[in-house]
Structure 1
Amino acid sequence: MSLVSTFIDKGLKRSAFFLAVLSALSLVAILVVIVASVVLRKFFDAPLFFAEELVGLLMSASLFLALPMATMKGQHIRVTLLLDSLKARAPFLEKAIILFGILVGISFCGWIFWEAIPWMEFAIKRELKSETARILLYPLMSVVPVSMGLCGIIYLARLLGFIKLEER
């Protein structure tokens, strides 16, 4: 691997790892909120009124924060029926299908990124807050464009040959 490829590979892996750590922390926060709510309900008959709302927001954030690591490692859910059947009949088509998959990934990430930016800008301008707990939404909404942008960059780097798909 060249110096540039190594630099890009390590940078993307570290960025994806950082977001994965944030994802894990949000899962821990979900656990803490649920346990606190259950304990307060059981012993004090006063559950946390914002628990469901906060758990939903943290769950969404966790999903998007984990997505770049799944993209980096190539651990998305895959339907390999077509690819496996083509490997046996026409091995030369395998690379074309993989290339098509990468292009679909880039398109999807770009589309979601493009749609998420105005949505996030609207939330920032209006200082939107959640309904029950009045939690500011734009910090959580910023997770979507960051995640999709990084996933798109990972797909692009894979397309250009800067990173290889990790073996499972």
Structure 2
Amino acid sequence: MKYFHAISRFSVAVGSLSGLATGAMMLVILTDVIGRAFFASPLPLATEISVMLLIAKVFLGMAGAQATDSNFQVTILIDNLSPRALHWQRLLSLAVALAGIGIIAWFTAKYAISATEQGEASFGVYHWPIWPERIILSVGLCLLVLQIAVDLVGSAIWGDEKMKAGLPHHSGAI
């Protein structure tokens, strides 16, 4: 079980990078706004940098949100299920998520490899490489797939509560 918790803790740590991306994005936008307003000189590549930071914020944070159970859930249909039925519902939900997100991650990884090999870049005033963004997106999705797999296997073996023991928990149930 310690390996499962280590993967979950790694997901949470990578998710913390998404918080840093938020702060960096705020600094880029603030610098751009001040440059435009007071010096009539916008920050070059501010939009491109902000997009890359937004991708990092969203996709690097997903596995951490999964690990801490921070995703919002609408529980109207499952609120009255027995603990046993709730456990089976969670396993089914994780299996469906694993299959769906696994397929998306597979195609995203293939595309990231292709974009990197081609040196994909934007066509604008400035040359900006897009392939690093594709890699960030792919890594984030692959980490999410790994975390869902850990949650699925761990919940199947040890149960839902024991699997989440020792990790931060932020219920997003509505």
Provide TM-score, normalisation by structure 2.
Answer: 0.82
Contact 2:12 2:68 in 1 (8 A): no
In the alignment, does 2:8 pair up with 1:20?
no
Secondary structure in 1 aligned to 2:78?
helix
Task: Report what 1:35 is aligned to.
Answer: 30
Q: Which consecutive unaligned segments of at least 5 residues does structure 2 have? A: none
Task: Report what 1:164 is aligned to.
Answer: 163
In the alignment, does 2:5 pair up with 1:9?
yes
Following TM superposition, where does structure 1 have runs of at least 4 consecutive aligned residues deviating by more than 4 angstroms?
none
Match of 1:150 among 125, 132, 143: 143
> For the structure 1 residues 157 and 91, does the alpha-carbon distance in structure 2 shift closer, same or farther, using more than 3 Å as the test?
closer
* Offset at residue 49 of structure 1 (A): 4.0
Identity %: 23
Deviation string, structure 1 residues 18-77 (Cα, Å, up to 9, x no partner): 322321221122111111111111111111242223212211221001101001011112
Match of 2:120 among 125, 128, 131: 128
Match of 1:141 among 134, 138, 149: 134
Task: Report what 1:75 is aligned to.
Answer: 70
2-structure distance, mates of 1:134, 1:29: 21
Please identify, of 138-147 and 38-47, the stretch whose mean Cα deviation from structure 2 is larger.
138-147
Please identify, of 27-36 and 16-25, the stretch whose mean Cα deviation from structure 2 is larger.
16-25
Secondary structure in 1 aligned to 2:63?
helix
> For the structure 1 residues 34 and 148, does the alpha-carbon distance in structure 2 shift closer, same or farther, using more than 3 Å as the test?
same
Contact 1:17 1:69 in 2 (8 A): yes
2-structure distance, mates of 1:108, 1:143: 19
In the alignment, does 2:111 pair up with 1:119?
yes
1-structure distance, mates of 2:144, 2:110: 19
Provide TM-score, normalisation by structure 1.
Answer: 0.84
1-structure distance, mates of 2:129, 2:13: 23
Q: Which consecutive unaligned segments of at least 5 residues does structure 1 have? A: none
Match of 2:100 among 85, 108, 126: 108
* Offset at residue 93 of structure 1 (A): 2.0
